[in-house]
Each structure stands twice: as structure tokens, then as C-alpha cells.
Structure 1
Amino acid sequence: MSLRGDVCVVTGAGGFLGKRLVRLLLEEEKMAEIRLMDKHIEPTVLHTLEDCKGDTNLSVFEGDIRDSEFLRKTCRGASIVFHMASIIDINDSVEYTEIYGVNVKGTQLLLEACIHENVVSFIYTSTIEVMGPNSKGEPIVNGSEDTVYDCTLKFNYSKTKQEAEQRTLQANSEVLQNGGRLATCALRPMYIYGEGCRFLLGHMNDGIQNKDVLFRMSVPEALVNPVYVGNVAVAHLQAARSLKDPQKRNAIGGKFYFISDDTPHVSYSDFNHAMMSPLGFNIQDRLLLPLRLFYVFCFILEVLCMMLRPFVRIVPPLNRQLLTMLNTPFSFSYQMAKRDLGYVPRYTWEEARKHTIEWLASQLPKERERIRAK
């Protein structure tokens, strides 16, 4: 089902995944208009899209996702919303009121704007972290949408993303102002990598400062399955096409889907090494501390930061929940998305790795120079 002639809104359009989706939409669909919504869009973003823009109108909407009037203006006349904007915070460094306001309240206001402005399709970009792992570090291997897992989320990021996802799915079949019905679905990508991934860049910078030796923060047997950004963008396109298809719309509305690809199952630390070893980086053989001692160390850090909280806010660089996430086998299959959405990874592991390494290689001289200049 084609999106030809549609008007769509992409929130978080200036971000890592948002820019990739906008380019894909321009290359594959003859849409009437794509609205790039974010708190700020760099002028270079539009410039880099000129080569594939064609006849599609690209509009920039800069504003606060917590502003209901701004959201209604952005959604007016649109038929599809890709909601990617959120605060990503794995260290609990952002105040809860701020992350809740953007991730939950912003999503709720956007859903209300869609209902008021008769937007018929809403795709929410969720995350694997709404599933866990739990504080016990109980593993999941090739899980599915039917996997039952006991988890009380610890990160404010995970909790707010989970609530936003729930609100999105509950809004499915809400009656629009014109009497139509809103259809919603949520996509749960694994850890997303690729050109522009700030986490990979951060690990590379740490390695540079450690004499080109990457830190090992996860044991080799803690297997996960990262997903390439280009394949995540394809999954969003397929979700939009499926929601527009009258025969599929009711079947997928109100559901969530795990999004992975054929990237090999590997630990987070060994994944970083797979990306950076061609650039001359090695990796530590073992964790800085035995895992149990590492947990004790993180606990002490957390207690100290809590004691200082009345006087100064210090965020520890590592906490127990993050250490659990890095050291728990946690992988999921994309077969349900393949069956219901027609999603098939477009980029092989070899292609994804090649593109990512080339991007990292282009960044390496600048990062070395920046670190030397400190």
C-alpha cells in the first residue's frame, strides 16, 4: 500500500533515526508533504535531503512537544504521524519531571492533537527497554511479542517509554473529530546502531582516551541483538503502509512489534569491538572488576550520590540497573513484524557493519584532535 499523496509528521526529525526515516520516505514514496518536527532542526538537515526531495514539500515545525497548540498546528491536515521524539536517558541524569513531561505528557498531547485534527495513523517508536531486563538479570533468548516476563522497570527512561507506549496502544480506535477512527501501533527496536549513533561515538572516545583499548562493560555470554538504523526506518515505513491498508489496519492496530534484523547476537562490548577493531582498537579481556564486585561498587556510588543529593546533584557514570542491562542475555525475533507488517531487513549485517565502520572512520580524526585539544 503506497503513501502517495499523504501528508505525514515526523517528530524528532532532526535525530539519529528521524533523519534516516525522512530520507527513506523521500526516496520511496511520492508524498505530498513531510513535516519535520523537533525543538530545533539544523539547516544542514534540509540541505542533505535536497538530492532526493523531488516534488515532496518539506516543512519545518520547531517547537515544544508539550505545547498543545503547536501540536495541533503541526498535525492539521496530516494523515500519518511517526512519533520518534523522546528524551533518551540511561543514567537517570535527567530530572523525572522533565523526562515525564516530554516522553509521556508530550505523547498524550500529540495523540489528542491527532484526534482533534483527524490524523488516521499513529506509529510510536518505543524501545526494547520497556521489556527489561529485570533487576534479577533473567535472560530472554529470541523472545517474541507473546513472551511473558516479570519486570519492574528501574530507569525513568524505561518507565516513561512504557507508559507512553501504553497510552498510544490504548488510543487505538479512538473516534476522530470527523467520525473516523485513529489506528495506532508501536515498534520496539533493539539497541539501534549505524551512522550517527552517539553511543558508538562515545565508546570510541573512551577508547581513544584509554590508548585505543575499548572498555569491557559486559561479559561475552550476555548476548543481545542490535539493529541497524536503516532497517528500523524500513520497519516504520512498512508499519505506515500496513496501517493504511484497509485489510491490515484492524489486525495490527493497538499492537506492538519487536524490530531486529540479522545482526549477529553478541554482547554490547563485543559489538563495539566488532565495529572498531578495523580502526585499530583492541578491547579489554575481562571486566574491570568481577561482576559481583562491580555491583557492590555501583551500589556504593549510588549511596554516595544519594547522600550528596541535598547539596549537589551528581550522576554516577554507571549504576546497577545499567550494569544489569549490559550483562543480561536479551534478544528478540522480528518474525511477528515480518508476518503482520511485511517487514524484512533491507540491509545485511555485512552492509550495516561496512556503513557504520566507514562513518566511524570519518569521525575518528576529528575525535582524536578534539580530545588532544582538551
Structure 2
Amino acid sequence: MPGSCKKLIYLTIISIIVLSIPVHSIGQDGMQSNEDRLSDWAVEEIYAAIDAGLVPEELQAQYQKNITRSQYVLLALRVFDLSGKELKYSEERPFSDVLNHSKETDIVRAYNAGIVKGDGKGHFFPDNEITREEISSLIVNLLMQISPEKNYTPRDSYEFFDGNEISEWAKSYINYCFENQILNGTGKNEQGIVKMSPKDGATIEQSIALIYRLAQKEGLINETSYGTIRIYPEDVDVDAEVIEEFVSTFGESVFNIMKELSLDENIEVQDMRDKSITLQVGKNIINLDQKKFEKNLFGLFFDMNDEKSVNVYKHLLKESFEESEEGIKLFDEYLPQLKNSEPVEIYEEINENYIFVIKSSIEDSGIFYSISYIQPN
């Protein structure tokens, strides 16, 4: 096929893509707050816990904030429900201070499941931050319900240099959790004696990670599941069949990248099919698509100064194509012009295997760009 004809075909295809991709406004974008950002050590486990259905939606943010007693109940109930254990109600109103609370139903369920006990005087203190010694009690009680055949008496008694701060009722729970590496110390003194910090709180990410490890250890998680991705604005999860076909088309590593991006509050997955996914990043749209005749990473950029959008496009370019270096190099070469809102028209054939295209369009609202990295089949 003559080069001029091929160029015309691909520019026509790009025009069709521009017209067909849905655009939903999500307001001004920005970087995640420090409170919402996951620690590096926690990323893999938190995503895995979300995939496994262990994390309620309200706990999929503010990861650095300390978790409350009622929020921890939500996590514990997810594990209890995965175990398939039967729940029988013996008391409908065990705590006077949870009546009409937003999580009253969950707290009452947890009480009747034997997971929580309160203070013995009819109080649960649902909005207090949970302490580490309270976590140890909750975790052991949870384990006793899902695996009652096991012995939960600690084999030994352990010395902690802040042991005088541990409540008497909590010592057995603390010892068991420490002995079984469920709850580790928070440091050591000069003599090497562990500090337990029993009255300290725990962040949401620490709590999710602990619950995830617990569910793993108890064999309650199906490790073969790829997990899912949530579609907005419809607010629905993608079907497992679509996920499996997407993974077979683009690979598990690309799917995991998409899954990670979908958890960013500034990124919305607008559409996902077995061979296509569309993201909205700020004001910009990014689409990865596999058709019979080509694989195409397409970007519709209304704001080239949005660093997150630019980085997402380059990251997907690198991970989705075996030969991406030249494409990234060309993208970076023209990026200053794009950021300055200059008209750019580029059609580059790379190694006869790839095509890199930039097309600018001007409307009353300003200039925007369609950018494609194409691998013809």
C-alpha cells in the first residue's frame, strides 16, 4: 500500500476514535493527598485485599488515617463472611451507644458472631480509634470463630519494655498475636526488648494489610482471581469474563497497571471491554485498544500540562508494546511544543512495525491533540 494511502487511513481512524470515545467531566484534577496515598510497602497487599473483597469502599481512601473501632468491625466481618460460618443472633441491642449509628447493623452482627465484646457495661465506643491491644482481642476472637478447633492459648509469656501499659485483659491476646507474628512490635530499646505500644492506634492501611494476611493464612482467599475494575460513572464492576479476555489480550501485567490506575481518585475507568479500556485522567482521555488490524494506544489531550496524564500515557506505552523506546523518545521530543499549545502534525513510521501520530485540532475552547502509537497486525 502506498505510504500516502496508509497515512490517510490511519488519520481517518484517529478521527473516528476521537468521535467515538465518551468524555465525562470529573472536575479539576490534582495529586492524591498524603492521607490518601499508600505507603510503598502496602501497595501490593492493599490492592490484593481490595480484589479479594476484603475492603469496603469507605476504607479505600485516607489510608494514613487511624482506623476506628466500627471501621475495624467492617474488615473483620469481611473475613468472617468469607469463612462461611453461620451467624445466630442472641441479642439485638448489645450496646446502648450504637443505637442509630451508621454501622449499628455491622456492630450488632460482629457482637453476635463473637468477634467483639465491648466494655462489659453495654458500651462499644464505635467512633473511638481502635488500639493495638483492642486489635489483638478482636483478631483472636475472630480466629476463634472461624477456626474453633485450634488452641489460642499462647505457649509462652513475653516481656515487652512497655509491658506495664498493657491492660490485664489484653495480655493473653497480645502474647498470642506476637507469638504468631500477627502483631509485631513497634521497636526495641537499647537492651533489645520489644516495644508493643498497646495504647497506640493503627492506620487504615496497616489494618487492611493485617486482615489480608490473616485471610491468606486461613486459606480464605482465591489466589487465582485477577480481581476487577470499577467503571464510572455507572459505578459497576467489570464482569470476570471481560477481565479474563482482557488479560489474554494484553497480559496480566498490563491489567494490573490498569487496576492500580483505577484506584487513583483522579483517574476514572470510563469503559472496559475484552480488548479495550478507556481512562479519563483529569480532562484527558486515554484508550488502549486491540482490533483485528492493529493495537493502538490513543490519547485525546485537552491539557498537555497535566503531568499525570502524560505519565500515564508514557507508562502504558512502555508496558503495552515490546518496542516503545522510539515512541517515548518522539513523545518527549514534541512535548514542549504540545505544552505550549503549538499546532503539531506528526506521522512517523518506526522500524516498519509501529506508527506514531500526533494530530492537533482547534476549537473555540482552544487546541487539543490526538496522539496514537499504533502497531499494525
Q: TM-score range by the shorter chain?
A: under 0.3
- Point out the structure with the larger helix share: 1
Name the TM-score, length of structure 1 as normaliser: 0.24
Name the TM-score, length of structure 2 as normaliser: 0.24
* Greater relative contact order (Cα < 8 A, sep 6+): 1
For the pair shown, the structure with the greater C-alpha radius of gyration is 2
